[in-house]
Chain A
Amino acid sequence: MNPAGARPCLNPLFRMQWEQAQQSWVLLYPEGMVKLNQSAAEILRRCDGERDMQGIVTDLEQAFSATGLAADVNAFLEIARAQRWVVWK
């Protein structure tokens, strides 16, 4: 479970950047790389340690004129936490 009210932020040991040659956002870490799909990248870009889960969902729903994204965001952040891509403040 993702802690309610807590604010996820990118683990400082990872770096996220746009790669022109791959036309994709990537996560970089010691000797490794994860290529992110668009939705993963949009969620992770909002993990700034300022917004909580609800804030991220609201922001995404506004940006993409969508509703009902909470379950997907929650599921992705579970994975991201298990992979240590994000830490919770």
Chain B
Amino acid sequence: MTLPGPPLWLLAELTYRCPLHCVFCYNPVDFAAHEQELSTEDWLRTLREARELGAVQCGFSGGEPMLRADLEILVAEAHRLGYYTNLLTSGVGLTEKRARILRSAGLDHIQLSLQDSTREMNDFLSHTRTFDLKQRCARIIKEHGWPMVLNVVMHRLNIDHIGRIIEMADQLGAEYVELANSQYYSWAELNREHLLPTREQLQRAEAVTNEWRERLGERMKLFFVVPDYYETRPKKCMNGWGNVFLTITPDGTALPCHTARMLPGLAFPNVRDMSLREIWYDSEGFNRYRGTGWMKEPCRSCPEKEKDYGGCRCQAYMLAGDPAAADPVCDKSALHHVVTEAVERAQKGLLETRPLIFRTPDESRRLLART
């Protein structure tokens, strides 16, 4: 195998603490067991080491990254090192003063998200507190000359409001809006039956999005992402395992994607114990599913194996019970029916009687106790 390229994308998940309790959060469901956060010094070293390897995009995420009091220090160092710096936030905690400091620290971009599926979305749609908060954040973002990028997680419970959501995004002055359907990992996987939209919902939502594209023209770029359960070929997850993405979790664990820790029989290194160079090039965790050598049939002989690298390892594990299997989203997978059955259940509207599970530390501890 040729030497892998550098980790171009560093995702720094600064904390699992979060004021929101989103039912589709991609943080691990057992996050309560991994709350030992890295120190400022550890993060600064990690930023330097990743930049030396060639990382150029740096995302500060969480949880809610604004809850880290040293965010400004980390942003300033990332900027000094030459990263393009992105802050992924719900906007809770973004005050005028903090924005000013982040701007002078060199923050390049804020992605404002609309996250909470129930209260927050209802508030937003009914023009109350959340809309006020987002409006305040949007104004701050614009005043500081940042691009106005809004991310809205779409699902069965809000997708029928998509026209209204786009209209509000336009009122906020958004230039780029991602309307990305939730992917079914972690908390969203627990709540999948509540979140997977019907085919009709998706078609309607795409049609409405297209109407808005025509109406808004160049003013706003709209990205609509369909759940991969409706596809017949899997996504090229993370652009390939250990190919360009490097995630560091709050406790310093280095992962090829933010959900990879769920995979069995695979130890992932920690930046407290190992240099990023060793982690990226030499560790078992990053090498296991690199390239195509690990593949089984039908991937191994598939002419498209370089195109999607067999899809997502986590999805293969969750749906096929084997991280080295083909992602069952692919219709060449012997287990593709697992996906189509979930889609059929969504059409019939056979909702689970179990209520939605909200992402809270208490719930996380309850789930931990069960396993």
The judgment on whether A and B are partners is yes
B-side interface residues toward A, CB under 8 Å? 6, 8, 53-54, 56-57, 59, 82, 84, 86, 108-109, 111, 145, 147, 149, 176
Given contacts A17-B82, A31-B109, A32-B57, 5 further A-B contacts (CB under 8 A): A15-B84, A21-B54, A22-B6, A31-B111, A33-B8
| Cβ contact within 8 Å between A15 and B6 | no
Alpha-carbon gap, A17 to B57, bound state (A): 12
Alpha-carbon gap, A31 to B108, bound state (A): 10
Instruction: From B84, B109, B111, B176, name the one whose CB has the most chain A CB atoms within 10 angstroms.
Output: B84
| Chain A residue with Cβ nearest B176 | A30
| Cβ contact within 8 Å between A31 and B57 | yes
Instruction: From A19, A29, A32, name the one whose CB has the most chain B CB atoms within 10 angstroms.
Output: A29
Alpha-carbon gap, A30 to B108, bound state (A): 8
Contacts of A13 in B (CB 8 A): 147
A-B contact pairs, 14 of them (CB 8 A): A12-B145, A17-B82, A19-B54, A21-B53, A21-B56, A22-B54, A26-B56, A28-B108, A29-B147, A30-B86, A30-B108, A30-B176, A31-B57, A31-B111
| Cβ contact within 8 Å between A29 and B84 | yes
Contacts of A31 in B (CB 8 A): 57, 59, 86, 109, 111
Alpha-carbon gap, A33 to B6, bound state (A): 14
Alpha-carbon gap, A20 to B145, bound state (A): 28
Q: What is the CB-to-nearest-CB distance from A17 to chain B, in angstroms, rounded to a whole number?
A: 7
> Would you give the 0/1 interface string for A1-40, flagging 1 where the beta carbon is closer than 8 Å to chain B?
0000000000011010101111000101111110000000
CB < 8 Å: which of A12, A20, A22, A28 contacts B57?
A: A28
- For window 44-88 of A, CB contacts with B under 8 Å fall at none
Q: Which 4 A-B pairs have the closest CB atoms?
A: A21-B54, A28-B84, A30-B109, A13-B147
Q: What is the CB-to-nearest-CB distance from A21 to chain B, in angstroms, rounded to a whole number?
A: 3
Given A28-B84, A29-B84, A30-B86, A19 and B108 contact (CB-CB distance below 8 Å): no
| Cβ contact within 8 Å between B56 and A28 | yes
Alpha-carbon gap, A22 to B109, bound state (A): 23
Contacts of A21 in B (CB 8 A): 6, 53-54, 56
Alpha-carbon gap, A32 to B109, bound state (A): 11
| Cβ contact within 8 Å between B56 and A19 | yes
